[in-house]
Amino acid sequence: MFRRFRGRALMYGIVLLPWAVPTAVSARMWEWMYNAEIGVLNHLLGTPVNWLGSPGWAMHAAIAMDVWKSTPFVALLLVAALQGIPADLYRAAAVDGARGWTLLRRITLPLLAPVMLVAVVFRAIDAFRVFDAIYVLTGGGPANSTETLSIYVYRTLFQSLEFGYGAALSVVTLACAALLTLAYLWVLTRRIA
């Protein structure tokens, strides 16, 4: 996606499509694809797997859906970071005899590291707060195997009506996200210093 080629705009559109689809719509789409009887995934694999009805498979199915939904965001960050790397660095390294793997290891990855850290933090925070996708896909089941912290907080607050405990859980969720952000800042400042 970084290099110029014919159809690049179309490629951007295709890659960003999962991010543009509303989360509830994509969760319902994945639910149909995972359907044990008429789902396209079982048809393609030729095996009857109960993706959303089995505690062993449900979390993996939910993770796959979330990765599909959020990958365009990470790709967009990385493409923007790649476009920010000066071409002169690659030309200078080529003059010194650097090729493929050396360019990747010595120039590209070190310059992408701060952006990759940002992407990891955003995705980790997003994983803490994921609610709508899994709630629509499985409702936290089967047997609470896909219950995330956000779904647990929701059930505690609005189904069990334990407002104090639910509020405390919300604060803990916020604290976990803050700790992740602080860890990111610590890693980034140590890397720059």
Q: What percent of the chain has pLDDT over 90?
A: 65
pTM: 0.82
Whether 143 is covered by a domain: the verdict is yes
Averaged pLDDT score across all residues of the chain: 90
Residue 158 lies in a domain: yes
Q: Tens of pLDDT along 107-117?
A: 999 999 889 98
User: Considering the domain boundaries, does residue 165 fall inside one?
Assistant: yes
Structural domain contains residue 1: no
Query: Is 2 domain-assigned?
Result: no
pLDDT tens for 17-41 read 998 999 999 999 999 999 999 999 9
Could you tell me if residue 146 is inside a domain?
yes
Domains in the chain, number: 1
User: What is the predicted pLDDT for the residue at 184?
Assistant: 81
Here the CATH number for the domain that contains residue 64 is: 1.10.3720.10
Whether residue 100 lies inside any domain: the answer is: yes
Terminal C-alpha separation, the chain: 32
pLDDT in tens, 152-171: 999 999 999 999 999 999 99
Residue 155 lies in a domain: yes
Q: Report pLDDT for 142.
A: 92
Burial grade of 51 (CB within 10 A; 0-12, 13-18, 19 or more)? buried
Residue 39 carries which side chain, given as an amino acid letter? G
Find the domain containing 110 and state its range. Answer: 8-192
pLDDT at 192: 60
Exposed, middle or buried: residue 175 (CB in 10 Å: 0-12, 13-18, 19+)?
exposed
Side-chain-side CA neighbours of residue 23 (13 Å): 13
- What is the dihedral angle through the alpha carbons of 127, 132, 136, 142, rounded to the nearest 10 degrees? 40
